[in-house]
Amino acid sequence: MRSYNDERVSEAGVMPALLLAWYAAWFAIMAWHPLDHKVWWTMNILPVLFVAVLIGTRRRMPLSNASYVMITAWLTLHTVAAHYTYPKVPLGFWLDQWFDFHRNHFDRIVHFSFGFFLTLPLAELFRRRCGVKGWLLPYLVVITILGFSAFWEMIEAWAGQIAHPDLERALVGHQGDIWDPQRDMAAAFYGSLLCVGLLALLRKLPEPDLEPEPMLESAEVGDAAFMTSRSGEWG
């Protein structure tokens, strides 16, 4: 017979399990006849490894459900880019028609989303594992986002140097913009700053006068870390 604790542990994994199922299904759909198979697999190596790390550390270093949702949102956008390649994502063409951008800006959207959606997970990691608090927390998160973004641009450059020119254009997606790496990094930087600002704003809002639900066991640390962003540690 299942114990009460077993039920709590089982329920605590519902949200991450649902998000993982969504990503797996979306990945399978996008893997069906991608525009360029080499670009598809090259762009998805690190994200798949990232997901594997999240699964492996789920019990030891759980994140809040909000963080898992944000990570999944970024992975969803990145998978779309890997399927079509950055220069040929339909949404980017539609935006070009509406705003006369003269290029497909879906790469900027994904890089901005990287900064925005990964800021909270990084903040939870720094707070719990390293004990970082106060002004140093958002500072470390933002410069870490910049570092990851720069590293990704270096990977694209290395891959482009050893790839066929057609593959290089599809993979890097600079579309004739000589400042593409810097603008991609800037997009991630702005996304991270926006998320930090929103978290700081949430900290100043009054807490709702509601009876909190019982904390689920395996998600306790992660969800508690998310709620502390409302209690002053971003100030």
How is residue 25 written in tokens? 């299904």
CB-count exposure of residue 155 (10 Å: 0-12, 13-18, 19+): middle
- 153 inside domain: yes
Position 210 scores a pLDDT of 40
What is the residue-averaged pLDDT of the chain? Answer: 80
Residue closest to 53 by CA, chosen among 150, 116, 2, 125:
125
pLDDT for 211: 43
pLDDT, one tens digit per residue, over 27-61 is: 999 999 998 888 898 889 999 999 999 999 988 88
Domain extent, residue 64, equals 4-205+214-230
The pLDDT value recorded for residue 171 is 63
CA of residue 13 relative to chain centroid, distance: 20
- Residue 235 in any domain: the answer is no
Q: Is residue 161 part of a domain?
A: yes
- 140 burial type by CB count under 10 A (0-12 exposed, 13-18 middle, 19+ buried): middle
Tally of structural domains, the chain: 1
222 domain-assigned = yes
* pLDDT tens-digit map of 146-188: 999 999 888 877 776 776 666 656 566 566 667 778 889 999 9
Residue 167, token pair as written in the block: 């593959």
Confidence of residue 11 (pLDDT cuts 50, 70, 90): very low
- Whole-Å CA distances, 18 to 24, 32, 125, 214: 10, 22, 22, 20
User: pTM (2 decimals)?
Assistant: 0.78
